[in-house]
Chains A and B, each alone.
Chain A
């Protein structure tokens, strides 16, 4: 009987891994947002000095990872695993960044849930005694995501009010078996949830049920009241998805209106920046959590947070073939 199983889907880390360093890189639009001061690097343009957006993305993903390693005060050579993912086909940004970093690599795809999934996996690897240091990173890019999932960048398209804006950036952290910093104490792994949403311009609606399901299972497994968290943070549900998430949680008896916020609504000034229903992409929860939220914890403003990062598991082809959009939500608890 697996001793660290708590309920159906949650795992408790008996020796919680510690976040000893983080690195966040964002694009110019994010650098004009309300959280700009909490990011390590704000890029002056979208290509990071490279010829294409795709080349730029893998460059700044590697940059974020290097910053995290530097901030940890350890050498790259003692990092046991590099867990990374992104939105592009075959997760090329992650794989190419791994080529540069030369650390044993575990590539993962969870769409926008990657940062929480990667951190949970890294935590399990460390708590299970398989590693002392794990580097986790993920990235997304407005242009590369638009090209792949939607339309050419310069095409005449009027965006719908439910559309979200893919965050350009990369977030990274280093987990360690010992050291100083915030700790990852619990992880709840999501199941794929599909309530039949087909519209790829309304991903918030597609992902909200998965976020609600993971929240419910986390609460059922741990027996913790949602009020014990200073912040319940969803990854990128945006304005529409957040409303649906709270509604679904309320229907199941959980009122998260007081302490819920969404990374997609925090990273941009949704009133003045033209971002539709809010930010999205792997980098969205990663940079907001690893950049801003962890700094808030250092400043003493937050003690215990629950991050539920969600991913919309569609492909450019699945939508075109008339498929619905399944979602998944991975949760981690970070305590100071």
Chain B
């Protein structure tokens, strides 16, 4: 049944009124608490990484050589905590602080792998492992290309 212009306008008006009501009644997240906790927890994870890096550098490695085992340790921590069901509990508390790479990134891959493990090695776990992490890889590389391009242009 074709709608008259008045009916369409009335429907739009009702929608706007309701959406305004919803916006008013929506409980706000505790922004200040979330910012502070994310800062502390994200910073805490980075501090742990710094300590691990320091341990490897103590053994005489320079920073670039020490980076690889540091990353490996942080990834391992992220995966183990995910596997034991601890990381998501931590994330409920920490918010964005738990999303920091590398541990956050490791969590996204491990969590996806766990979820899809029963759907087969190839089409399940193999392909869906990167379902959350994929965009990080795509847009990370894209940003790198873009940054390199700008660097190139500014050098001309």
Contacts and interface: CB of A to CB of B under 8 A. Distances in A.
A162 B29 CA distance: 9
A156 B14 contact: no
A202 B107 contact: no
Interface stretch (A124-132, A147-155, A176-184): A147-155
Interface of A is mostly: loop
Nearest to B107: A156
Give the most central of B34, B92, B93, B116: most A CB within 10 Å: B92
B104 A156 contact: yes
A89 interface: no
B107 A244 contact: no
Contact of A155 (B19, B27, B111, B116): B111
B115 interface: yes
A160 interface: yes
Interface residues of B, number: 38
A156 B108 contact: yes
A49 interface: no
A282 to B, nearest CB: 21
Given A152-B115, A154-B88, A158-B92, A243 B25 contact: yes
B22 A154 contact: no
Interface of B: 14-15, 18-19, 21-22, 25-29, 34, 82-83, 85, 87-88, 90-96, 98-99, 104, 107-108, 110-112, 114-116, 118, 131-132
13 contacts: A152-B112, A152-B116, A153-B88, A153-B111, A154-B87, A155-B107, A156-B99, A157-B92, A158-B95, A195-B19, A197-B22, A202-B26, A247-B21
Shortest Cβ-Cβ A-B pairs, 5 listed: A156-B91, A154-B111, A152-B115, A196-B15, A158-B95
Interface of A: 51-52, 147, 151-162, 195-197, 202, 205, 209, 239-240, 243-244, 247-248, 274, 277
